[in-house]
Amino acid sequence: MAISMNEIIIRLLVSAVLGSVVGMERERLNWVAGLRTHMLVCVGSALIMMVSMHGFHDVLGKPDVILDPSRVAAQVVSGIGFLGAGTIFFWRKEVLRGLTTAAALWAVAGIGLAIGGGMYFAGIATTALALIILAFLKPIEKFFFKRVETTRHLLSIKIFPEKISLQSVEETISNAGISLVEMQIRRSPQGGSDKEYLLELNIVGTGEKLLRLADELKSNKGIQSISYE
């Protein structure tokens, strides 16, 4: 049975509205995939679903024609992964960002498929749940699951080895509550004194702890300068 023009317009408009609801939440946080992206994904998914359901009536039932229209809609589920992967990126070395936005795009594609298939209640209910998950569960998540600091920083220290020991540096780092991952020492590459060395420390800690550590290290006469990134 062919779908009417009014029904097509209604489904596309409903999918656009539902996609915008999720998109506005992402737009509020200034993510790359925002309002327009989520709307387009939802509308496009609804259209593909309608094409999958109603776009092959003129050839179905003819001799030697065997089609599975559901395969067209099924490609949305796998195809949206390419778009979602574009929102995932590494921020500040080992911190991965964009996974939630990628999942939101995947959910919006599902909402579009539901609306395109005429399952209005399922699409609206999923949109409401997605909005609750994105907007209201984050404060609860932060309250119950306090994240351990895992961001690595590179601490570069110009030292005079005869005036300071590496063991004392390690003890100072440990007392500051910072984890030392790796330590490397080499001659200073900036053509300074032959007695001047560059100590590079790969550490894990918060910015506040790093500032306290820098203040403690600066008080040592064997340290010329400190920088971190």
Specify the pLDDT at position 168: 79
Specify the pLDDT at position 120: 94
Over residues 159-210, the pLDDT tens digits come to 776 777 777 778 887 787 777 777 777 776 665 555 677 777 777 766 677 7
* Nearest C-alpha neighbor of 100 from the set 145, 80, 130, 139: 130
Q: Can you tell me the mean pLDDT for 91-106? A: 69
Residue with tokens 């998109």: 23
Over residues 13-41, the pLDDT tens digits come to 999 999 998 888 877 766 666 788 889 99
Q: What is the pTM of this model?
A: 0.58
Higher pLDDT, 132 or 64: 132
Over residues 50-75, the pLDDT tens digits come to 888 887 777 766 777 677 767 777 88
Domains of the chain plus CATH, in order, are 5-144 (no CATH), 152-228 (3.30.70.260)
Specify the pLDDT at position 228: 67
**Any residues with CB less than 8 A from the CB of 196 and at least 6 apart, and which?**
158, 159, 160, 187, 188, 224
Over residues 142-164, the pLDDT tens digits come to 676 655 555 677 777 777 767 77
Specify the pLDDT at position 206: 66
Specify the pLDDT at position 97: 65
Distance CA 27, CA 142 (A): 21
Residues 158 and 225: beta-carbon distance below 8 Å = yes
